[in-house]
Structure 1
């Protein structure tokens, strides 16, 4: 009986040993599988950039060596892989190519579709001094109503300095639940250009419905002027613009003012479609890829309106709105009135990754119809008119808007001291 018990004991010990060994092997296999999955995920991001990025020199570095530096690391979680991807992309030293976690990627897709939540700011990193700069507040957004302006510098978010933070880190700190508050510390250049004003703004987050177009038909003397304010090139912009132009045409508009002030851009295709509604014939824009190959985008002869047109611009006019402004100016379709545009001449493409995260990659730069590169330079308007002080949304496109008044006089041919300058 004792011998039998010993046999069963040894059998039990043997089974346990085999089970432990099996679990150890299974655990090791799972760890290897997880490791390979994270490597595969990082490699996929690397390959997208390798195929698509507009700079063939990858910021003067060997992109294959960069891959080796990161692929040999051991990632214990997807969050660690995310961090490594951000570190890898940072070597490009180009803020518009960036990784977006699933929530941020979904938020960006929602924004281009026409609605979002938060404070309503379009921001960029100034490539001269690497400071976070407001391109433009979205019209009617909490930031707009609180008084944030184009070209304001965001130096702090809830008392956290923004120096050293990425665009996405800044954007993430400004996001939050509807009704919650965030404090922005801003630096604003003084009117005389000597020094800056520092101010704190407490902003309550809210849902932001982005209405791409605000339009009205103004009776100005003997003329009916279609005033069209285009706020953003989102998914609704081109359809809304087509509807607006056809409506004004039917109502007898014989002149137009297109207001691109504070328009931070958006979808490239939307800008292209709207340009074709306004220009009968000519080149809208050239794109130049990493190989120096130029692709031209032409109008198709199906412009909706051909009446006289003036475009209003300022420092918040950026990206796709600069494509449109440059096309109208250099095809002699319209004169630009206002101040110099922002100067963003790069085009990004969005890639969705397997886990719902996303990747924004700069795939090309664009040139105006006369082959001007406006990146970091902006477009100088034909008629330079500055606002002596900010105006409210209700004043836009009225006789209290000095730039709009200047646009009307340009349409009449009565504007004095016209300063005509080239785009570069």
Structure 2
């Protein structure tokens, strides 16, 4: 079995990054950029894929056996005699005339990247071993770091801490929200993009990173060494609103998200939850196994999403019906709700199990599959389309909400975010109260 993805777009693999965003936004932030970046991972690939030439054929070996690509197939057509000759000719020109030293490995990687670029599909890409390893962080939510969210002012390049997560090395070291990071291991924080700075903060488990911090709240300059540990960031937050209406925000669909969601629902139910606001705004995606498990907790028995490849092979993902929510539900969506978020929204809409509120979703309805290669590199290819339970493919179209409502923050723009002034949340509360009073 291979890794399958339904991905909105690629992002740099960070701890958690938040870009500057004008106007008031929810605490999760419109500018939030995470390493997940819309990746939906179906299953972990437990085998390897290797290729070797055997005369006029190429044999692809997997944990499930082997398959042979014949001379007339795409691989043989691409690597024909003329193309191989041209590559050698280009390499000769580079060797003779390029003004600087060359890196053979980078040139070889460039050939692989170029092959995938030739598909004209932005979702099909080639990963070096390092890029592939980094991408795995995005699907598990785990990495060796300090457990702090970072944001960078796009004008001044100043980097500050947007959130210190509970139980992480950052909290243990005494770091606080809004602390300004002046340097990381003697590298000035303002000298690079925050995504690159995060790579400096990460490292091997048990090692330390030295930070120079300025704390605006007290005017202190602080030097601190923080130990890097295996960190798993929370992807679900929840709270009880007025009138026993529960609120759950899902930031990404990661490895542990379904469990976190179940814990959140259990806590809200213990408090007497009568209705639920489920917020997937700005959620770019995640693991399909995670969103399917969450839909299994919400919906009655039936198909929640299915995929079809170019040969018409269909794979169904279902809810068992063993557990389901029997309270009114409102789902908040917007143009940055993508992939797994659209699977959730599409299933709830098709089953008429809740009210969608907000703006039309992103529209990512195709599947990517990651094939790890024998040398540690990997290739990601678009391999299928996915469909909502009623057979709707939303790629390039998105899902229209039941209630169209542009986001507006009605409170003080200079004060901290408050859900009481989030017009979409307030609309959801209004809709749920009407249902509770029926």
Q: With structure 2 as the length reference, what TM-score do the two structures score?
A: 0.59
Gaps spanning 5+ residues in structure 2: where? 1-49, 65-72, 92-102, 156-183, 203-230
Of 228, 231, 236, which residue of structure 2 is paired with 1:213? 236
Q: Deviations over 1:251-308 (max 9, x none)?
A: 2111101100010001111111111111012320121111122222221012242211
Shift of 1:320: 0.8
Q: Deviations over 1:365-400 (max 9, x none)?
A: 10111211111111110011112359899636x211
2:434 matches 1:413: yes
Q: Which residue of structure 2 aligns with residue 79 of structure 1?
A: 106
Shift of 1:181: 4.3
Counterparts in 2 of 1:322 and 1:202: CA distance versus 1, 3 Å: closer
Q: Tell me, what secondary structure is at the counterpart of 1:387?
A: coil
Of 295, 299, 314, which residue of structure 2 is paired with 1:294? 314
Gaps spanning 5+ residues in structure 1: where? 1-36, 52-60, 121-139, 149-175, 185-200, 416-424
Q: Deviations over 1:149-208 (max 9, x none)?
A: xxxxxxxxxxxxxxxxxxxxxxxxxxx999744777xxxxxxxxxxxxxxxx99964669
Cα separation, 1, equivalents of 2:337 and 2:59: 32
Q: Which residue of structure 1 aligns with residue 345 of structure 2?
A: 325
Of 403, 408, 422, which residue of structure 1 is paired with 2:424? 403
Shift of 1:350: 2.0
2:123 matches 1:96: yes
Cα separation, 2, equivalents of 1:352 and 1:70: 25
Q: Is the 8 A contact 1:96 1:361 kept in 2?
A: yes
Of 364, 374, 391, which residue of structure 2 is paired with 1:371? 391
Q: Which residue of structure 1 aligns with residue 77 of structure 2?
A: 65
Cα separation, 1, equivalents of 2:320 and 2:247: 25
Q: Tell me, what secondary structure is at the counterpart of 1:375?
A: coil
Of 234, 244, 247, which residue of structure 2 is paired with 1:227? 247
Shift of 1:141: 4.1
Counterparts in 2 of 1:313 and 1:114: CA distance versus 1, 3 Å: same
Q: Tell me, what secondary structure is at the counterpart of 2:244?
A: strand
Q: Tell me, what secondary structure is at the counterpart of 1:323?
A: helix
Cα separation, 1, equivalents of 2:232 and 2:414: 19
Cα separation, 2, equivalents of 1:289 and 1:67: 25
Aligned alpha-carbon RMSD (Å): 3.9
Of 248, 252, 277, which residue of structure 2 is paired with 1:257? 277
Cα separation, 1, equivalents of 2:350 and 2:112: 40
Q: Which residue of structure 2 aligns with residue 142 of structure 1?
A: 150
Counterparts in 2 of 1:360 and 1:376: CA distance versus 1, 3 Å: same
Q: Which residue of structure 1 aligns with residue 325 of structure 2?
A: 305
Counterparts in 2 of 1:210 and 1:46: CA distance versus 1, 3 Å: farther
Cα separation, 2, equivalents of 1:392 and 1:234: 32
Counterparts in 2 of 1:45 and 1:64: CA distance versus 1, 3 Å: closer
Counterparts in 2 of 1:46 and 1:213: CA distance versus 1, 3 Å: farther
Cα separation, 2, equivalents of 1:342 and 1:305: 26
Counterparts in 2 of 1:389 and 1:203: CA distance versus 1, 3 Å: farther
Q: Which residue of structure 2 aligns with residue 164 of structure 1?
A: none
2:289 matches 1:266: no
Cα separation, 2, equivalents of 1:46 and 1:180: 48
Map 1:174-213 to 2 at 5 A: 180-181=189-190, 205=198, 210-213=233-236
Counterparts in 2 of 1:63 and 1:290: CA distance versus 1, 3 Å: farther
Counterparts in 2 of 1:249 and 1:343: CA distance versus 1, 3 Å: same
Counterparts in 2 of 1:70 and 1:403: CA distance versus 1, 3 Å: farther
Q: Which residue of structure 1 aligns with residue 217 of structure 2?
A: none
Cα separation, 2, equivalents of 1:45 and 1:318: 37
Name the one with the larger helix percent: 1
Q: Is the 8 A contact 1:282 1:331 kept in 2?
A: no
Structure of greater Rg: 1
Q: Deviations over 1:29-67 (max 9, x none)?
A: xxxxxxxx9976xx999969xx9xxxxxxxxx9554224
Map 1:328-347 to 2 at 5 A: 328-347=348-367
Of 408, 425, 428, which residue of structure 2 is paired with 1:388? 408
Number of aligned pairs? 298
Q: Deviations over 1:199-252 (max 9, x none)?
A: xx999646696421011112x2xx211110000011111111111112212221
Q: Tell me, what secondary structure is at the counterpart of 2:331?
A: strand
Cα separation, 1, equivalents of 2:354 and 2:313: 29
Q: 1 or 2 for the larger relative contact order (CA 8 Å, sep ≥6)? A: 2
